[in-house]
């Protein structure tokens, strides 16, 4: 039976609100996800929150009821609360109907099966949570095997990145690692590394993208370091026919991913 919390001063409210901060997420190894769509995606992928906050007005919604029942059956807590407290937890003036607290999860390079998918996404020093979330959504859409984050990337478990992923954080495996570790792992098996670069004349549609293809996107402002570019099997460039000299990192990744998908589908 769900319990009720209506006081801002409740220590659990403060503890959950603190998860908006990276330091507290690291300490607690937990993160926030909000919205019925995202939490339903998580449930359908086999992940349930340990804490589920929901507004009384949404309690009768069948998807909310399913979440409440399954969270409680799994030993978690379902908590009925007010829209004001939901707003305090999510940091939004118009909060979603549900907010969940999840245990952090991620995988390792050695746990990946590179032959399980034809497309893999790799991002280097990605700094914008919206870009990270959008790249995860692209990965889900094209059936990518996972997203490999290289170096000092934005936290994939930040509220903003989780929100932008629209649930893809729960469906696309994420690995965080150093460049050297990734390169050693990559060269231990099949796979071509394709870098998106402005410093090449090689059109993105020219190469043959055999499976598995690893698409490397560099930092939004600086692109990828010269050493990383040199390690790629090929560098490709998207045509820029107007005055803009580059595309947003997430947009460029999506264009490339669909070109790879189109080729691999024949």
**Could you report the per-residue pLDDT of 207-262, keeping only the tens digit for each?**
999 999 999 999 998 989 999 999 999 999 999 888 887 789 999 999 999 999 99
Intervals of CATH 3.40.1280.10 along the chain = 109-264
**Which of 260, 165, 153 minimizes the C-alpha distance to 209?**
260
Q: Mean per-residue pLDDT for 44-68?
A: 94
Q: Mean per-residue pLDDT for 135-147?
A: 98
**Which of 102, 192, 116, 181 minimizes the C-alpha distance to 149?**
181
Contact 135, 126 (CB under 8 A): yes
Intervals of CATH 3.30.1330.30 along the chain = 3-103
- Say which DSSP state 50 is in: S
Alpha-carbon torsion angle 221, 227, 231, 236, nearest 10: 40
Residues pairing with 215 in the sheet: 121, 194
Q: What's the chain's average pLDDT?
A: 94
> Helix crossing, 36-44 with 62-73: angle to 10°?
50
Q: How confident is the model at residue 5 (pLDDT cuts 50, 70, 90)?
A: confident
CATH code that applies to domain 3-103: 3.30.1330.30
Q: Give domain 109-264's CATH superfamily.
A: SPOUT methyltransferase, trefoil knot domain (3.40.1280.10)
Q: Please spell the DSSP secondary structure of 196-250, one letter per residue.
A: E-SS---BTTSS--PSSEEEEE-BTTTB--HHHHHHSSEEEB----SS-----HH
Q: How confident is the model at residue 1 (pLDDT cuts 50, 70, 90)?
A: low
Q: Mean per-residue pLDDT for 104-119?
A: 96
The pLDDT tens digits for 158-216 are 999 999 999 999 999 999 999 999 999 999 999 999 999 989 999 999 999 999 999 99
Q: What is the pLDDT of residue 48?
A: 98
Q: Mean per-residue pLDDT for 34-43?
A: 95
What's the token pair of residue 58?
């949404």
Higher pLDDT, 157 or 2: 157
């Amino acid at each position: 039976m769900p319990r009720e919390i209506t006081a801002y001063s409740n220590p659990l409210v403060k503890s959950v609100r603190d998860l908006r901060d990276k330091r507290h997420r690291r300490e607690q190894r937990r993160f926030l996800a909000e919205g019925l769509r995202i939490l339903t995606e998580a449930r359908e992928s086999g992940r349930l929150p340990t804490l589920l906050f929901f507004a009384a007005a949404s309690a009768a919604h069948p998807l909310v009821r399913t979440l409440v029942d399954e969270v409680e059956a799994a030993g978690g807590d379902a908590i009925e609360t007010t829209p004001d407290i939901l707003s305090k937890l999510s940091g939004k003036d118009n909060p979603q109907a549900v907010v969940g607290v999840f245990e952090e999860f991620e995988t390792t390079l050695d746990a990946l099966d590179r032959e399980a998918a034809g497309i893999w996404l790799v991002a280097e020093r990605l700094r914008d949570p919206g870009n990270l979330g959008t790249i995860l959504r692209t990965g889900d859409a094209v059936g990518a095997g996972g997203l490999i984050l290289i170096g000092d990337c934005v936290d994939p478990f930040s509220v903003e990145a989780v929100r932008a992923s629209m649930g893809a954080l729960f469906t696309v495996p994420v690995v965080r690692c150093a460049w050297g570790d990734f390169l050693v792992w990559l060269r231990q098996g099949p796979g071509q590394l394709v870098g998106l670069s402005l410093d090449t004349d090689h059109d993105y549609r020219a190469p043959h993208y055999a499976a598995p293809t690893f698409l490397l996107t560099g930092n939004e402002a600086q692109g990828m370091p010269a050493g990383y570019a040199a390690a790629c099997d090929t560098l490709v460039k998207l045509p820029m026919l107007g005055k803009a000299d580059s595309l947003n990192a997430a947009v460029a990744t999506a264009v490339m991913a669909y070109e790879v998908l189109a080729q691999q589908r024949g």
